[in-house]
Amino acid sequence: MIDNMDQGVLVVDDESRVQFVNQTALKTLGVVQNNIIGKPIRFRPLTFESNFTHGHMQHIVSWDDKSELIIGQLHNIQGRQLFLMAFHQSHTSFSVANAPDEPHIEQLVGECRVMRQLKRLISRIAPSPSSVMVVGESGTGKEVVARAIHKLSGRRNKPFIAINCAAIPEQLLESELFGYVKGAFTGASANGKTGLIQAANTGTLFLDEIGDMPLMLQAKLLRAIEAREILPIGASSPIQVDIRIISATNQNLAQFIAEGKFREDLFYRLNVIPITLPPLRERQEDIELLVHYFLHLHTRRLGSVYPGIAPDVVEILRKHRWPGNLRELSNLMEYLVNVVPSGEVIDSTLLPPNLLNNGTTEQSDVTEVSEAHLSLDDAGGTALEEMEKQMIREALSRHNSKKQVADELGIGIATLYRKIKKYELLNT
């Protein structure tokens, strides 16, 4: 139902008064329904190009004495305005609502089908103590997912300890994980050392690049999981621990098991709840959202003016293969924030040559496309469906190309054709 959609929805009548607001929008705006229905509201788009009137952009949303900075799409339908929220950028003071060092499910930016499924899965499994294994290419956001699970769990106020198994030399990894007692070995600290597993007690331990853990330590970790206790180096008695383990890898652990590089019994202990993250090249419909997210992140951090971004640049970015995934996109947006003149729009002349010359490919065969920007058909509301129908009809009248219509509406071409068939707009 539209009232429980991940995306915030506001409908405003011809007198600019709020006619409908769903639960997500209420949460985003920080209000209860009775305090906003029927009240005047104003949307002021922030853009530097007069002809850049479609797609996602920043809006200052104002009502009463409050103002919020929200990225979204504003559509005029039959004298009413439909505002589809992408994500919240600030509270009334224009400070950031969700600081980057406090990741939770709202930081999993994306409204494509697979991302909506991922958010629902995380919400379901977060309260459980069962182990989770997150699999995905480098840069797909595995630690963000791990932190989101922790933040939504009953352990949210307990430690979240992360360790990269590939970044620590093998001879040091055991002491980092399990700790040691005074005098355990030559060069050891005189006071001993608490291991990261013990430091994560009652909380969550995130083991990144788990495939790089040496076999000897795999056996010791398996023992710790099964017995719920650890034995620090040089200790004579075990220490009880209560931890939830989330592991992550970008490697093929099944192949590692076949080659004798990874213990099968440990794999089954860690892989109780498997989560697979899609590469960015399979999330083309999320590119524009992510572009604005990272632009906001870096302009805030660098103290820069938020720039506009030309539609042709967004199209170039959609076609790029993104071998570095989200990390590559974030780095590109940081670069563009640094080089774009203050108050101007990011155009294709600012893109690095490798992106223009060698970095783009034809769009991959992604058959499933997002309906998040135009997902009103779950609402069961005739009025909202009529608004959607009118919005599509008007876009069809403005463009000769179905691709242009889909781009304006913020949906995929397959979704557009399904909507056209549903509303019998074939002859429009």
Strand partners, 162: 206
Contacts of 57 (CB under 8 A, 6+ apart): 45, 46, 47, 71, 72, 73, 292, 308
State how far the Cα of 57 lies from the Cα of 53, in Å rounded to an integer: 9
The whole-angstrom separation of Cα 370 and Cα 407 is 12
DSSP-derived 3-state class of residue 77: strand
Q: Which is more confidently placed, 88 or 190?
A: 190
* Beta strands at 179-180 and 193-194: parallel, antiparallel or unpaired: antiparallel
Domains annotated for the chain, with CATH where assigned, are 1-97 (3.30.450.20), 113-276 (3.40.50.300), 283-357 (1.10.8.60)
> What confidence tens digit (pLDDT) does each residue in 104-139 have?
566 788 888 899 899 999 999 999 999 999 999 999
What are the two backbone dihedrals, phi and then psi, of residue 160, each rounded to the nearest 5 degrees? -115, 110
| 301-322 mean pLDDT | 88
CA distance 364 to 322: 12
More confident of the two residues 108 and 90: 108
> How confident is the model at residue 377, as a pLDDT?
40
pLDDT at 186: 65
**Do residues 180 and 231 lie in contact, with contact meaning Cβ atoms separated by under 8 Å?**
no
Residue 6 — very low, low, confident or very high, per pLDDT cuts 50/70/90? low
The answer, yes or no, to whether residue 215 has pLDDT greater than 60, is yes
Encoded tokens for 134? 């997150």
Average pLDDT over residues 401-412: 74
d(C-alpha 100, C-alpha 106), whole Å: 11
User: What integer is the mean pLDDT of 48-53?
Assistant: 44
Q: Find out whether 307 and 340 touch, Cβ atoms under 8 Å.
A: yes
The answer to which of 139-153, 298-312, 381-395 has the lowest mean pLDDT is 381-395
- What's the DSSP call for residue 425? -
Q: Are 97 and 272 in contact (CB under 8 A)?
A: no
Q: Distance (Å, rounded) from C-alpha 1 to C-alpha 376?
A: 8
Please compute, for residue 94, the number of CA atoms within 13 A of its CA located in the half-sphere on the CB side.
Answer: 10
Residues 54 and 15 sit within 8 Å (Cβ to Cβ): no
CB 230, CB 224: distance < 8 Å: yes
| Sequence-ordered list of residues with C-beta below 8 angstroms from that of 258, at least 6 positions apart, any chain | none
The sign one gets for the Cα dihedral 373, 378, 382, 386 is positive
